[in-house]
Amino acid sequence: MLNLAIALTLVTIPNHAVNAKGTAASFPWLFANGSVTSRTMTTQVSDEVLTRAGYSALSQESALSTWRASRLPEPNPGVWPSASSLKAFGIAAKVDRVLYGKIVWHTRSIWVNTGPKTISTATVTAYVFDVSKGRNVYSRTKMQARSDEKPKVNQVVEAILYTPLVSTKGDDSTSQEQRAVQLGLALAYRDWVRSSLR
């Protein structure tokens, strides 16, 4: 049960791109490690990616209830949803695209000149499934992003996201995980967003 993205998106996303290309769902996301707050950030960021690409995002509540009402197999980190499950979900949810994938966090303490520092790496595998074609039309596998990425990377990410990057706080592993997944998802979907806007 913990493997499904069930958190609600808590950010208001600007409306300028909504529904220009259709509707999409950001679900299901598979997780390994990571706090509940970090998992919530995954759904928030993927909804922002959809909106930036010109799609109206189906709410997480609607996505979860549609998945369950369709009696589809519950995804888990070791078993990807099948193309037939994603197609059935997309049809039932009345969406054109489904963003889904897997996030694996590795949070640890490293030694720097001033002493120990907590960082997190998010390894992101991200897909876009075209419901009408019944197949993935975009993929990025095992993209890694560290919570302490350089400013140049942060500028690229900020061009994709609406909300600012999470400020990291010393030993707080949750803020490190959140920032890492923001960076990872934005980098993983950057090319898809750019091609959607052409």
pLDDT at 84 over 70: yes
In a domain, 16, yes or no: no
172 within domain boundaries: yes
pLDDT reported for residue 6: 37
Give domain status of residue 4, yes or no. no
Mean pLDDT of 82-109: 95
Is the pLDDT confidence value at 107 over 90?
A: no
Per the domain annotation, does 179 fall within a domain?
Answer: yes
Q: What is the domain range of residue 125?
A: 22-196
The band of 144, judged by pLDDT with boundaries at 50, 70 and 90, is very high
10 domain residue, yes or no: no
The pLDDT value given to residue 77: 75
Q: Would strands 135-146 and 115-130 be described as parallel, antiparallel, or unpaired?
A: antiparallel
Number of structural domains the chain divides into: 1
For residue 93, is it within any domain? Answer: yes
Looking at the domain assignment, is residue 14 inside a domain? no
